[in-house]
Structure 1
């Protein structure tokens, strides 16, 4: 049972993380509202900036050049989009933004005291439903298409985030239990 003096802080923290969730959701919705041309131009600009950063940071030394070539090789071999860097960056953006959304939702539910199993299910379910609705909405933006592949990538990003936060929660609870047990033994 939560102590009353902590309840106000928990509610404030939950509202804060709920606000962060809203910001991420608004960002997703805004990106999906762009017409096809603007969306393509934005992602190409980001892709070129990433290529430039890789060239500047990695390819200035022999070791960095080898790492850069290894990364390029792995991406081309294992990505379904091969050497299409723009498509890879776009899909990574899908994964990443839903990773963040799941993190915010999961933390909000944790602060509210929702048990881990239900928190896990609600987070994944919410992110899947939002991804599905967003792809449906995107179909009505000029020059855009909706894709179940994007929904799967979004949900996978949410799943990875939720798994990480669930494992972290177990570890922290385990550490807390050990500390509590040690403190009880010395009382």
Structure 2
């Protein structure tokens, strides 16, 4: 039992550390001024466009898929064909998705029940997103509640997915235990 406890603590520290790295990354990116941030986004956007172009547009099938993706993004994104804005918003969603995964796993390792794990994970991510947007306003960039909502949505998606997976495995574990009790 003691050995298991030590392993759990070490794993929790590991995932807490990864959570800290993700938070530091978010904070560092928000500390950039508007020009630096936009230039970084444009570089990433151009690299993604090049990669998509080289992978998809070498075949007829790839060209069709590429056009479908472009059409879908333009029709459903509030930013239309502004690929840089789309990539920036995808980055917001993705990094908070990753943060939520690390926080959720840390809480799971520590034995926090599923309901509290869900609430704490989304709450921590929301508070960090809110604080980060506030911090961003001091760097000469605008802060926006829509980014906080997008960040929180990313964390909510991750937390919901991990909770569903956790419930699924808990159900399997319960069925296995029930089968052993019947024997």
Same fold, TM-score > 0.5, yes or no = yes
Q: CA deviation at 1:75?
A: 0.3
In structure 2, the partner of 1:34 is: 32
> Which structure carries more helix by proportion?
2
Encode CA deviations 1:145-169: one digit per residue, 9 max, x unaligned: 1011100000000000000000000
In structure 2, the partner of 1:57 is: 55
In structure 1, the partner of 2:143 is: 146
How many residues are treated as equivalent by the alignment?
183
Q: CA deviation at 1:65?
A: 0.7
In structure 2, the partner of 1:88 is: 86
Matches within 5 A, 1:52-131: 52-131=50-129
Rounded Cα–Cα distance in structure 2 between residues aligned with 1:185 and 1:50: 56
Q: Does 1:180 align with 2:177?
A: yes
Scaled by the length of structure 1, the TM-score of the pair is 0.96
Q: Does 1:166 align with 2:166?
A: no
Tell me the C-alpha RMSD between the 2 structures.
0.8
Rounded Cα–Cα distance in structure 1 between residues aligned with 2:11 and 2:153: 27
In structure 1, the partner of 2:23 is: 25
In structure 1, the partner of 2:12 is: 14
Rounded Cα–Cα distance in structure 2 between residues aligned with 1:166 and 1:14: 18
Encode CA deviations 1:23-53: one digit per residue, 9 max, x unaligned: 0000000000011111000000000000000
Runs of 4+ residues deviating >3 angstroms = none
